[in-house]
Amino acid sequence: MNRLFFYLLFLLSISLHSCITYIDKELDIKPKLVLHCYLVPQLDTTILHLTNSAPLFTNNPRKIEPVANATVEISDNNNQWVKLEYNSEHEIYFIPQAQFPINEGKTYYIRASAPGFETVSASCAVPYLREVNLDFVVEEHGSDAHEPYPHFHGYLRWIDYPGEENYYMFFDKSRMIYDYWTYTDTASWYSWWLLWDADGNPCIYSDKGQDGKKMSVLMMLGYPDIYEVTLFQTDRNCYLHEKSIIDYDSDLQSFMLEPIHLYSNIRNGYGVFGAFVMRDYVFEIDVE
């Protein structure tokens, strides 16, 4: 009986032996340059962020960090190239508009090369700043047991510019004056953060199927006196890239969903080279 018990235990131990096996898979993928650059006529400097990708499943893992020794060049005719400088403090490449102007309606080309990486390149066209008659109409949202005080929402409304592809984004412009990292007051700068509408969707729109038509989006307000918003009119690259970032970052990103490919127009690399124009709007709100 003891022997039988031992044999059964032995068989059971084989049956229950480790169910997880690690596979040392070398995918043999070379790291690539990751380039992010947006051309904006309203900004006085063009900046470009360049890092490397880190291949997974490799015996030689690599750190993701800025690539400081690259040659980054920009051109407006794909013929004569102007080199960007590197700012080591902020880890970006830059070129002032005084040196290389960015104009609406023009096509620009970028390329970057660095030792150990394949040269990357891309092109984009800067959209025109179009008059879209943006306005803002406020409505009282009402109150209920959960939210007893009256609050408001409003419709941002505009008319799509007809006859061309247009892409719109709404951003909130805020002024950064306190540096929480160093706990000091510092020189202020503006930052822009993508707005989300009352239904929890990002304010990124294309005019597909609505060329020349009225477009609108519902925004929650609270109880404001004024409403400020920055309208970005972007090219297709910016639109697809921002949209893919949001989809990728969704809460339900999981093994059950179709993997999301982040948009990229960078040849031989990742990232985006896009362009947009921007205009600030301020709406006074009278809710009496």
Q: Which of residues 109-168 bind another protein (CB under 8 A)?
A: none
Considering only residues 196-235, where is the footprint of another protein by CB under 8 A?
A: 199, 232
Of 76, 91, 104, 135, the one binding another protein by CB under 8 A = 91
Beta strand 92-96 with 107-113 is unpaired
Structure token digits, residue 161: 């510019």
Instruction: Decide: is 70 part of the binding site for another protein (CB under 8 A).
Output: no
- Dihedral angle, C-alpha 269, 271, 277, 279, nearest 10 °: -170
Instruction: Decide: is 282 part of the binding site for another protein (CB under 8 A).
Output: no
Comparing CA positions, the residue from 52, 24, 193 lying closest to residue 115 is 52
Of 114, 129, 132, 260, the one binding another protein by CB under 8 A = 260
Comparing CA positions, the residue from 213, 223, 98, 84 lying closest to residue 148 is 223
**The length of the chain, given as a count of residues:** 288
**Beta carbon of residue 163, minimum distance to another protein (angstroms, whole number):** 25
Contact code string over 1-40 relative to another protein, x by CB under 8 A:
----------x--xxxx-xxxxxxx-x-x-xx-x-xxx--
CA distance 251 to 60: 31
CA distance 57 to 27: 6
Q: Binding residues for another protein, how many (CB under 8 A)?
A: 81
Residue position matching structure tokens 């005084």: 98
Of 134, 138, 194, 287, the one binding another protein by CB under 8 A = 194
Of 4, 98, 187, 282, the one binding another protein by CB under 8 A = 187
- With vertex at residue 55, the alpha carbon angle to CA 51 and CA 57, rounded to the nearest 5 degrees, is 155
Residue number, 79 or 261, with CB nearest to another protein? 261
Contact code string over 231-250 relative to another protein, x by CB under 8 A:
-x-----x--xx--x-xxxx
For residue 10, the SS3 value is: helix
Of 56, 98, 226, 282, the one binding another protein by CB under 8 A = 56
Instruction: Decide: is 63 part of the binding site for another protein (CB under 8 A).
Output: yes
